[in-house]
A and B are shown apart, each in its own frame.
Chain A
Amino acid sequence: MLNELFPNVKPDDLWTAIEETFYMTLISVIGTIILGILLGLLLFLTAKDGLWQSKMLNFLVAAVVNIFRAIPFIILILLLFPFTDFLMGTIRGPKAALPALIIGSAPFYARLAEIALREVDKGVVEAAKAMGAKTHTIIFKVLLPESMPALVSGITVTAIALIGYTAVAGVIGAGGLGDFAYFYGFQRRDFDVVFVCTVLIVIIVFIFQFIGDFVANKLDKR
């Protein structure tokens, strides 16, 4: 029946595209979490009255974050071609999309992480200091656990933006559902393929949103 409705959709190719989208999204989400939290922590800790207060460092990190956030994603991919080629040995396929995806979304997530960290009760940090906690103890046992629900919500938002980015990356040959919709659907005028890909992307977004909300809720004991 599916064949009658969507005569041009080849299940095998479609399945590969779905796999590629998931692969790109998952790996880049992990990369974004690591890089984003690192940058977010730096922004938070070097800010005024932070544990590592430093105007200079804060300015530098904020500048990097703002610049990368300002570059449109499609242009960022092109700019990163030499870097991607050097790092991955190729500029085509899902693997080649990863550096651009991570570098494009980590600064965005860094800002969300910074906001999450700022929401942590100052009194709790003070209490930990009064107990004689070291800075790394405060980071790993107070700041991160206490901001976890907001960090997870931030990851959800970022992951959904990333799914969109993977589709953009697909247009310049990264693979995945975006690639499939553009080359097999749009360029051949097989619009049933475009339609199926769109529906699938929407479903993937819903899945991510659902998992994100569920985890954030479970973590929040307030």
Chain B
Amino acid sequence: MISIRGLTKVFPAKPNNIMAVDNLDLEINKGEIFGVIGYSGAGKSTFIRLLNRLEDPTSGQITIDEHDITSMPKQQLRRSRQEIGMIFQHFNLLWSRTVRENIAFPLEIAGVPKRKRLERVDELIELVGLSGREDAYPAQLSGGQKQRVGIARALANNPKVLLCDEATSALDPDTTDSILRLLVDINEKLGLTIILITHEMHVIRKICHRVAVMEAGKIAEQGEVLDVFLHPQQPVTKRFVEQVMGDKDQEDSLKILMENYQKGKVLRLHFLGETTNQAVISQVSKQFDVAVNILQGKVTQTQKGAYGTLFIHIDGEEAEIEKAIDYMESTSVEVEVDIDVK
């Protein structure tokens, strides 16, 4: 769907030029939600602006749906841009226009006749859940509502791709969730390819299928979200994973806690998707003669199932404990024995 080859963007500056995007290669599949995460200055904002040529690349090639964006003449580029929706961190709505007029704007640009425009706007207002607010001005809307207008506007011309530039970074957590749900909903309903950049790992976790971690203009790591969560290779990725999973310090405090146990085992359970629905813990305590005590942990939901770590203390006959561990390993939960108190 989108293929990027050797993409480079250099901003001339003194004394040294700034290499914002550095020889980047990337493939994005049709219909997926692809996340790019990085700290500020990693080049992700420049990257997303290169995709619709709000910034012209220094070198490299971007192909979207067989069209070479990078070599396109201006007029053709304008037509292509109508098929690439974009939403922004600060919404970028026209304050002088009502919700309806804002959403109609891209349709005016595309030369859609007035009657069709009104029909389409009503459809979009329904889709993003803004019915009843059609005639409000942006100043009268909350942040979440403004972003809904932004999304409706971006979808007006039935784009194939939606670019999200830190679309939830200015919103509070609840509103962020509702906007993310809307994006997933649109992705499923319309089969739209979504590329989003963010510095918040939980955004990636909640809605992305695949993720690329950017650092210093390069992609440090990329892959399925769950894989990247489970086996972060690069230091920068590990830092992002800690953002949602808690950090190592907490595990140290756990060691102190464990000293209180005289016997049994402390286990570390890794949840890697699907099985979290199977109530593993409750099955173990029902089927085996063991006492299970949940010490601490964090399990979080991603697009491909649950991911997380749970520390439990398990006590009982040695053989019973072994059987319980075998059972847990027979599901897709990974078990590690952290401390074996003898």
7 further A-B pairs in the complex, CB-CB below 8 A; given A127-B88, A131-B105, A132-B77: A123-B88, A124-B93, A128-B105, A130-B52, A134-B78, A134-B109, A222-B95
Task: Indicate if A172 sits at the interface (CB-CB under 8 A).
Answer: no
Is there contact, CB below 8 Å, between B94 and A142? Answer: yes
Interface readout for A118-142 with B: 1 if CB under 8 Å, 0 if not? 0001011011111111100100011
Interface residues of B in 54-107 (CB under 8 A from A): 54, 77-82, 84, 86, 88, 90, 92-97, 105-106
Partner of A141, one of B82, B105, B157, B163: B105
Task: Indicate if A99 sits at the interface (CB-CB under 8 A).
Answer: no
Task: Indicate if A114 sits at the interface (CB-CB under 8 A).
Answer: no
Chain A contact residue count (CB 8 A cutoff)? 21
Task: Indicate if A146 sits at the interface (CB-CB under 8 A).
Answer: yes
The CA of A108 and the CA of B60, in the complex, are separated in Å by 46
Main SS at interface, chain B: mixed
Is there contact, CB below 8 Å, between B92 and A132? Answer: no
Q: Please judge, given known A-B contacts A141-B108, A148-B96, A222-B139, whether A132 and B90 are in contact too, CB under 8 Å.
A: no
Is there contact, CB below 8 Å, between A132 and B78? Answer: yes
Task: Indicate if B110 sits at the interface (CB-CB under 8 A).
Answer: yes
Task: Indicate if A145 sits at the interface (CB-CB under 8 A).
Answer: yes
The CA of A121 and the CA of B80, in the complex, are separated in Å by 24
> What residues of chain B have their CB less than 8 Å away from a CB belonging to chain A?
52, 54, 77-82, 84, 86, 88, 90, 92-97, 105-106, 108-110, 137-139, 153, 157, 163
Residues on A with beta carbons closer than 8 Å to the beta carbon of B79: 132
Is there contact, CB below 8 Å, between B96 and A146? Answer: yes
Is there contact, CB below 8 Å, between A146 and B109? Answer: no
Main SS at interface, chain A: helix
The CA of A221 and the CA of B108, in the complex, are separated in Å by 21
Is there contact, CB below 8 Å, between A130 and B139? Answer: no
Is there contact, CB below 8 Å, between B110 and A132? Answer: yes
Residues on A with beta carbons closer than 8 Å to the beta carbon of B137: 221
Is there contact, CB below 8 Å, between B94 and A131? Answer: no
The CA of A106 and the CA of B157, in the complex, are separated in Å by 41
Which one of A121, A128, A131 has the highest number of Cβ atoms from chain B below 10 Å of its Cβ?
Answer: A131
Residues on B with beta carbons closer than 8 Å to the beta carbon of A131: 81-82, 86, 105-106, 109, 153, 157
Query: Which residue of chain B lies nearest to A219 when distances are taken between CB atoms in the complex?
Result: B96
Q: Please judge, given known A-B contacts A132-B78, A222-B139, whether A126 and B108 are in contact too, CB under 8 Å.
A: no
Query: Which residue of chain A lies nearest to B80 when distances are taken between CB atoms in the complex?
Result: A132
